Amino acid sequence: MNPAPVGTKVRVTNHAPDSHSYVAGKVYRVVRVDTDGTFKAEDESGKVGGWISWQCCERAEPSTWDRIAAALPEDLAIFLSCFDKIDQISLDEHVIDLMLGQMPNLHERILAFAKTPDGAALIAGNRPKPIPQRAAP
């Protein structure tokens, strides 16, 4: 993973011996970035771990469970939260494709969001980098 700013949520993908209390698969929030390719992050309780390499992590996107739970009545979300591994739920790709296909004007809605300041900030790392033009001889 490339270095990211403070506040970014990351998931530890492998446990390096020097990663000081980070757990593979768990999500942390970046709290300090160093110039040597390492950073410190805190868990959900606020406990800050030691320095860890960006290579041991990936950007943590909202889970399928988080997106589903946001649309559920609160009591149902709490009930389902009692089950182990609910945060690792995933939808079949075919189901996702069918759901997206039923959303009218999805292309326009995504572009409209991408043009907002929040949307532009979220996709900034995915945008293609301009190729430098050579000066005319």
Residues 34 and 74 in one domain: no
Residues 75 and 53 in one domain: no
Tokens in use for 75?
């009591």
Would residue 136 count as lying in a domain?
no
Tokens in use for 22?
């980070």
Mean pLDDT for the chain overall: 81
Q: Which domain holds residue 93?
A: 64-120
Higher-scoring residue by pLDDT: 123, 137:
123
Counting the structural domains of the chain, the total is: 2
Residues 97 and 116 in one domain: yes
Residues 91 and 112 in one domain: yes
Mean pLDDT of 99-121: 80
CATH number of the domain that 33 lies in? 2.30.30.40
Check whether 123 has a pLDDT greater than 90.
no
Would residue 85 count as lying in a domain?
yes
Query: What is the DSSP secondary-structure string of 15-77?
Result: --TTSTT--TT-EEEEEEE-TTSEEEEE-TT--B---EEGGGEEE-PPPHHHHHHHHS-HHHH
Residue 120: predicted pLDDT: 83
Would residue 134 count as lying in a domain?
no
Q: Which of 59, 76, 101 is the last residue of a domain?
A: 59
Residue 69 phi/psi, 5-degree rounding, is -60, -35
Check whether 111 has a pLDDT greater than 90.
no
Residues 85 and 50 in one domain: no
